[in-house]
Structure 1
């Protein structure tokens, strides 16, 4: 029996804003974005964005075992990028994944999916250079301040989302 993606997950309380949404990620839009970025999005990311296509999460921190330029024991995110082009911080938006690679010099090994409060000095990405045993990209924190050091933070996108906690934990 196959495990259902995000089974039992509380989508209602996940987002701190309900106003942010790019166009609804239809199959055609998803395929177009994947072609533009050069990577296939994980099913979990696509399904998650079909509940709300991007925005700021209520729980905006993820614990780490390594120090980053943000903190000794966690990273913080500002928003999760939508699948689309029309919002500034959507995957293919004005300040999306390709912008971070082409303009900021971030490694071109995946798709940047989360902005961070550092205004571009660190990002969260789906890293296709680091695949899990199921062939899905791991979620990594990329730190410009540490010469674009990658820190693996989750084995897959769903684990990353389920592991987000409030900053009150730190």
Structure 2
């Protein structure tokens, strides 16, 4: 099973070490190796259905028992495509907490790496509409292993 679906939507140019260094400098953080491993296979795009949701223990504005994870932003400047590099602008635009790195979202809701505490960033759900947040996982590796098929929910 592959993490990515076929297709080019949201896909950036192949990831280079230089692009990673530039992104980390722009964002002011060190990106988790688990994220970079995924982006080296495919630099952003649509996530396969098998990994398209994360179960929650609390209800969110999205659903009573999960949040969607249908895409993952890459690192790059492909026209018409959001990227991790857009995080500073999007955080300001939507009034989100900082420092975070946005992984996916639609403006109203986001899944992000949360760098507000020292150490490995946790993964959080941010809702700009109701100004709420929910920690999803203590780190990206735990988040990724917790992903399930989106169609496993009603």
TM-score by length of 2: 0.88
TM-superposed deviation, 1:24: 1.8
Q: Distance in 2 between matches of 1:160 and 1:26?
A: 24
Deviating above 4 A after TM superposition, structure 1's stretches of 4 or more consecutive aligned residues are none
TM-superposed deviation, 1:50: 0.3
Q: Distance in 1 between matches of 2:25 and 2:57?
A: 34
Paired residue for 2:55?
Answer: 63
Q: What do the CA deviations read for 1:96-133 (whole angstroms, capped 9, x no partner)?
A: 31222121111122101112xxx3110010001145xx
Paired residue for 2:83?
Answer: 90
Paired residue for 1:75?
Answer: 67
Q: What do the CA deviations read for 1:123-150 (whole angstroms, capped 9, x no partner)?
A: 010001145xxx2101111011221x22
Q: Bigger relative contact order, structure 1 or 2, given CA contacts below 8 A and separation 6+?
A: 2
1:127 matched to 2:114: yes
Aligned pair count reads: 149
Q: Distance in 1 between matches of 2:141 and 2:127?
A: 22
RMSD value, Cα: 1.6
TM-superposed deviation, 1:64: 0.4
Q: Distance in 1 between matches of 2:28 and 2:89?
A: 14
The residue correspondences of 1:3-42 to structure 2 (distance < 5 A) are: 10=1, 13-20=2-9, 21-42=11-32
TM-superposed deviation, 1:55: 0.9
1:48 matched to 2:38: yes
> Which is further off, 149-158 or 78-87?
78-87
TM-superposed deviation, 1:33: 0.7
Q: Distance in 1 between matches of 2:34 and 2:26?
A: 19
- Unmatched segments (≥5 aa) in structure 2: none
TM-score by length of 1: 0.80
Q: Distance in 1 between matches of 2:117 and 2:65?
A: 22
